Amino acid sequence: MTTKQTVKKIALLTGGGDCPGLNSVIRAVVQSCILEYGIQVVGIPDGFKGLLENKFIPLDLLNTTGILSKGGTILGSSNIDTPFRVPVIKDGKKIYEDRSDEVVQHLKQERVDAMIVVGGDGTQSIAHGMSQKGIKVVGIPKTIDNDLNGTEFTIGFYTAVTTAVEALDKLHTTAESHHRIMVVEVMGRNAGWIALFAGLGGDADVILLPEIPFDLNKVGNYLNDLYHSRKKYSIVVVAEGAKPIGGDVTVSKIIEDSPEQVRLGGIGHRVAEELEKITGRESRAIVLGHLLRGGAPEGFDRILASRFGVAAVKAVVDGKFDTMVAYRNDNVELVPLETGAGKNRFISPDSAFLQTARHRGICLGDS
């Protein structure tokens, strides 16, 4: 951290996967910079890809008007580009180059005094690396997965949960009509926050999480007991990173040049097929996938993005760099940037949300 100093220009970047609420934070940063401090703002298009290409877009009150309620990000994003590992072809072979010194020069040439970087654990890891190169950086946490270490909630999470809950509400009626088991796969990588919150809000009978390896025979027996006692249909929510006891995650594909090479997916169909065999009842699988990333941000995400944006600008003005804004106990505070750099937050066994699921009788696959 450094002492308070004069800041004339801030660069803003949205990296990693898109999510609802990114435009809300862009709007808040621009408004706070211009109206409160008289600071100029430039946006970097397409995440760190734009920084590698030395591209900057002036942001002002006019070109950010009306975007707060819009999903996605007007700046664009990238979840595969990093200046520390750029793929190039030399002598017919692919190698990786560190071009971080080059992007440092781009920022200096643009006369950027500080950067605000909005992203998840991968993006914050790159931002921390840039800070170690001498760039003044403040991070803002966003990811629908809500798995970023150091903060209780991230931008995009609540909207993704709302989208999942709305889907579950619709599936209840069709599942009931045909007495089916409906298995809904949601995103979340190796953390089960979306699955847990969606299952709680969407009245699921079963929630399968990456943090709790499951036994499908126990799940099947539980669903059969429900069927014979009081309920002729069932809703199962499964996180994409969930895995059976003694088994492994289900991988959909490998992206070689991506910092996140392993892409999960397919566990929903596996669970549905196995449950149909175990229970003898028709089971269908639905994968919500990128639907969870889309649409307008709901109210909480808009407000959280505004709080984060304003707090990040203040941190820059106060000279508190190499930090990340974080939501803790209804307060927005600063934590060291390395807290969220490449580090995840998982559901603990004593989580109040997890215990709520158990007390409601929801099956988690372990009993």
Q: What is the pLDDT of residue 207?
A: 98
Per-residue pLDDT of 59-103, as tens digits, reads: 999 999 999 999 999 999 998 899 999 989 998 898 999 999 999
Task: Mention every residue, 6+ apart, whose C-beta is less than 8 A from residue 166.
Answer: none
pLDDT given at position 304: 98
Q: Do 9-155+297-339 and 159-293 have matching folds?
A: yes
| Contact predicate 155/21, CB 8 Å | yes
What's the CA gap between 175 and 9, in Å, rounded? Answer: 55
In this prediction the pTM is 0.94
Q: Quick one: pLDDT at residue 10? A: 98
C-alpha torsion sign, points 226, 227, 232, 233: positive
Fold exhibited by the domain 159-293: Rossmann fold (3.40.50)
Which of these, 79, 94, 100, 67, lies nearest to 15 by C-alpha position? 79
Mean pLDDT, residues 175-202 taken together: 97
Residue/partner pairs of 248-253 with CB below 8 Å, 24 or more apart: 249/190, 249/210
Q: Please compute the mean of the pLDDT values over residues 338-363 and round it to a whole number.
A: 95
8 Å CB contact between 238 and 195: yes
Record the tokens describing residue 30, joined without a space. Answer: 């621009």
Question: The tokens of 277 are what?
Answer: 């065999």
9-155+297-339 maps to which CATH number?
3.40.50.450
Q: List residues with catalytic annotation.
A: 145
Where in the chain are the domains?
A: 9-155+297-339, 159-293
